[in-house]
Structure 1
């Protein structure tokens, strides 16, 4: 999909470090803005009942969604699927702040793979356990269902794509998606046709570079 780069820069206002991942010249994520990553995990897991949840996260990034998942004692296992080998390596090498925490938690596995191919297949996301199903599937990869990083991703956000993804959920399971855009009526309709219930949550946070509040959608 292009050249990957990781950069660390000093915030002159706070004196702390800011970590950013870019794909070519496009910013994928920044440690300045992680509210929606964390909300994705908390809202997705809040929809579940019971104990000992098996969770899969599509997209590792800086690791905030995975960390928020692991904060829940009810989580028995977490599989994080990312298509960029460098991102996984940066965590394993300790180049990112959450790397040591994620790689040392025995519940968590970081695997290199195509989340979208896994969602569309019968085998699913875990090559070691084909056909495995999960209590929660949480996705934070594309900017939104209409603004994808690669054309091959678009199929997931259709009625057929969501139907295939839902087959990897256990009964009563939850699918949650993070989007930079406002709620999408067409996507909401597809969700309503595939899942028993569907909810939209607006996550607001301060955009320090633009001096104002911005919102994402879960």
Structure 2
């Protein structure tokens, strides 16, 4: 062993660079929250994995924030009531709450562990989200609630909202679970639209470029719909990456 080096020091160095903060088996697979130190950027990166699949990284949040900004920009008036489907690291919800017009935010998350991370303060970049009095974190299946008549607020069945912002599946075709597929068809989107107020907005994040098939489904249901390509720097390879935000208005 080199002089001045000890097993403890090596362990301490490793723990400062990587930490598995939370891990648990769920019906969808093993969900984990990890923190790693990026030596090039000199920042702590928080990542969510489901089994071996990466769901979200704090390195790539531009499009998640734009999902809220682009969706809410379509709305006029004050005292907006908003639903976010998928909590994740909390960037879309945090961006929605940054709009002073938002009076209530209901975030629907299928994995109770993810809600617990926020309530326990494990995510410093979105700290305070769970404590915001306008925000309610609801454990539930967003897709089942979207398809049902009662909707997203179990305290007020049938309640309608000004905006529904969704970031759950990778794309309308690359799904976390096959059961989500019907949501992206015209019939599923019509069920979703019933939970919007007149002139309400549905916005969706996707990891892929705009898809003609999904745009066709949107235009069958909503009077107006568009796909916004969101570009952002990719620090992993030094180039640029893109996501898509679909915005449809009732």
| Aligned equivalent of 2:54 | 27
Alignment equivalent of 1:202, drawn from 222, 229, 238: 229
Alignment equivalent of 2:116, drawn from 86, 89, 102: 89
Deviations 1:123-177 (A, max 9, x none): 0112121111100000000000000000111110000000000000000100000
Deviation at 1:98, TM superposition (A): 4.3
| Aligned equivalent of 2:43 | 16
| Aligned equivalent of 1:185 | 212
Deviation at 1:99, TM superposition (A): 5.0
**In 2: Cα distance, 1:153 partner to 1:113 partner:** 14
Name which of structure 1's ranges 203-212 and 170-179 shifts more when overlaid on structure 2: 203-212
| Aligned equivalent of 1:57 | 84
1:76 equivalent to 2:103? Answer yes
Does structure 2 conserve the Cα–Cα contact (< 8 Å) formed by 1:92 and 1:99?
no
Alignment equivalent of 1:165, drawn from 192, 195, 205: 192
Runs of 4+ in 1 over 6 A off after TM superposition: none
- Largest Rg, 1 or 2: 2
| Aligned equivalent of 1:146 | 173
Deviation at 1:210, TM superposition (A): 2.5
Task: Give the unaligned 5+ runs of structure 1.
Answer: none
The alignment's C-alpha RMSD in Å is 0.9
| Aligned equivalent of 1:39 | 66
1:137 equivalent to 2:150? Answer no
Does structure 2 conserve the Cα–Cα contact (< 8 Å) formed by 1:92 and 1:100?
no
Task: Give the unaligned 5+ runs of structure 2.
Answer: 1-27, 246-250
Deviation at 1:194, TM superposition (A): 0.5
What TM-score, normalized by structure 1, do the two folds share? 0.98
What TM-score, normalized by structure 2, do the two folds share? 0.86
- Greater length-normalized contact order (CA 8 Å, ≥ 6 residues apart): 1
Deviation at 1:32, TM superposition (A): 0.2
The structure whose residues are more often strand, as a share, is: 2
Query: How many residue pairs align between the two structures?
Result: 218
